[in-house]
Amino acid sequence: MEALLAPNAGWLSILPPVIAIILALTTKEVISSLLIGIFTGALIFSHFNPVNMLTTTFEVMGTKMGDNANILIFLGLLGAIVVIVTMAGGSNAYGKWASTKIKSRTGASLATSALGCLIFIDDYFNCLTVGTVMRPVTDKFRISRAKLSYLLDATAAPICIIAPISSWGASVATYMQNSGVENGMTAFIQTIPYNLYALCTILMIVLVCIGKREFGSMAKFEHAAMLENDLGTNDADADAENLGQMEVRKNGKVIDLVLPILALIVFTIIAMLYTGGAFSGQGISPFEAIGNTDASLSLVLGGLLTLVFTMLFYLPRRVLSFRQFMGAITSGVKSMVPAYIILILAWTIGGICDIDHLNTGGFVGHVVNDNQFPVFILPVILFVVAGFLGFATGTSWGTMALLIPIGSAICVTDSTSHLLIPIFGAILAGAVYGDHISPISDTTILSSTGAGCPHLNHVASQMPYATLVAGACCIGYLCMGFLSSPWIPLIVSAALVVLGYFVFGKRMNPDKK
């Protein structure tokens, strides 16, 4: 409730993210749009003093870079691993092997989605790892990078938010515990069937993979991929042929890709247990350790150990020379520069909107808290508010941290106490939806990075799919306000998702424009 007590800039507090998002979607240029949004927010906060505006901007930017330094380091390590594995021929070999096992675009899409669902520990880890592994396979079957990035994004946060053993589950359980519920993890598990957006997104993924229908700009990208072999790749895509002008090894082996990726997964999980205190000798269980883990530090430790493992695995076998290996590290870090720029700017605009500056979340929270809505409409209202706040700020965690205490406070009376878990489920669902479609969300940025897709192509192509699911969920949450049960609303929402997919989606024919 701290954000509600802190001062805010009123309606001006929502102006910076709104400006940045509108400019990004209209100009198709995300960096300048974010900069304008940042400067607008800093100007408002500094009472329109241009000198203080610049000071505020770079203070916030420096703070955010420091707070998120481990994510920047991990991105560099992962970029290095991707280029090293590609140069070793592992990616090409895996693509050739997978093409003998996976026989269709549907199979490639399903395999990508299944791997995304299996890696539910952390959304950052999901986006980047699955993108690295599956890119050669989806390229082989002419699946556009826009569709690959959607599959990555849709199996990141929507899966993590219904996985108790994940960095998300642990954090949300803490928010709920602090809001007054008796057991935060129990409450989190109870919200899973009430999280209509996450569950219906999984349904949408299946439909997209097997239905062979697309709509919106995704149809354009898929047509270009199928008919013209134009995958819509990122100009900064980390293909080894374009990085350092180094040759890709022709006789690479599948194991040269599989073992480094497995090492990354294993080392990261071990690191998460370590940073969570599982090896401290204090009787902390693995489940508790995952709940207490430092996810970003764990990713850095997992990435560094994987880099060392890959060197020890490649160099003695002369897969790469030491000089090639070190050159690939430099090229891999360079390949992440576009992601660095967008992430830093997204974090900065989020910092301008935080509780210490414009307090955008506190303003939206006041609007919700001060208005008396009919009881039955509360779940859908909080779903919509959480979606808007997640979209405007680019953070689902911040949205959940703000709105969960508000939802708990709303449900203290006898007339509303039965809606506590439905309201929690609606808040989690709305926060993930807003984060899912926001161009300034770090998960959205990392999904486009992992897929090698131009960022705004990813944002524009996935928004209709996510919004169709959210619209169906609004009807579901309206039903939930009357029923206080998840099952009929879930069935209604799922049926509307299927109906909407077949109404709006046009069947894709790879042989005809």
Q: What is the pLDDT of residue 171?
A: 67
Q: What is the pLDDT of residue 56?
A: 92
Of 66, 45, 63, 64, nearest in space to 54 by CA: 45
Three-state secondary structure call for residue 418 = helix
Tens digit of pLDDT for each residue in 159-168? 888 877 665 7
Distance (Å, rounded) from C-alpha 414 to C-alpha 407?
14
Q: What is the pLDDT of residue 405?
A: 73
Spatial CB neighbours of 327, under 8 Å, sequence gap ≥ 6: 244, 246
Q: What is the pLDDT of residue 69?
A: 87
Owner of token pair 């959210």: 470
Q: Which H or E run includes 32?
A: helix 30-45
Provide the sign of the torsion angle of the four alpha carbons 247, 253, 256, 261, taken in this order: positive
Q: Looking at this protein, which amino acid is placed at residue 272?
A: M
Spatial CB neighbours of 141, under 8 Å, sequence gap ≥ 6: 99, 102, 104, 105, 107, 108
pLDDT in tens, the chain (513 residues): 455 555 567 788 888 878 887 887 677 677 888 899 899 999 999 989 999 999 999 999 999 888 888 878 887 887 888 788 878 888 777 767 777 788 888 899 998 888 888 776 667 767 777 887 788 888 888 899 999 999 999 988 888 888 776 657 766 776 787 777 777 767 888 899 999 999 999 999 999 999 888 888 899 999 888 888 888 876 544 443 444 445 667 778 888 888 988 888 889 889 888 988 888 888 888 877 876 777 778 888 988 999 999 999 999 998 899 998 998 898 888 877 877 887 788 788 878 877 788 887 677 667 666 666 677 888 898 899 889 888 887 878 777 877 787 777 777 666 667 788 899 999 999 999 998 898 888 888 888 888 888 888 999 999 999 999 999 999 999 998 888 788 999 999 999 999 999 999 888 765 554
Distance (Å, rounded) from C-alpha 46 to C-alpha 19?
18
Burial profile 119-143: b = 16 or more Cβ within 10 angstroms, e = fewer:
bbbbbbbbbbbbbbbbbbbbbbbbb
Q: What is the pLDDT of residue 177?
A: 74
So where are the chain's domains?
Answer: 69-172+239-339
Q: What length does the chain have?
A: 513
Tens digit of pLDDT for each residue in 65-106? 888 888 788 878 878 887 888 788 887 777 677 777 888 888
Q: What is the pLDDT of residue 359?
A: 80
Check: CB of residue 246 under 8 Å from CB of residue 327. yes
Q: What is the pLDDT of residue 81?
A: 85
Distance (Å, rounded) from C-alpha 274 to C-alpha 261?
20
- The whole-chain average pLDDT of the chain stands at 82
Spatial CB neighbours of 474, under 8 Å, sequence gap ≥ 6: 380, 383, 384
Q: What is the pLDDT of residue 364?
A: 67
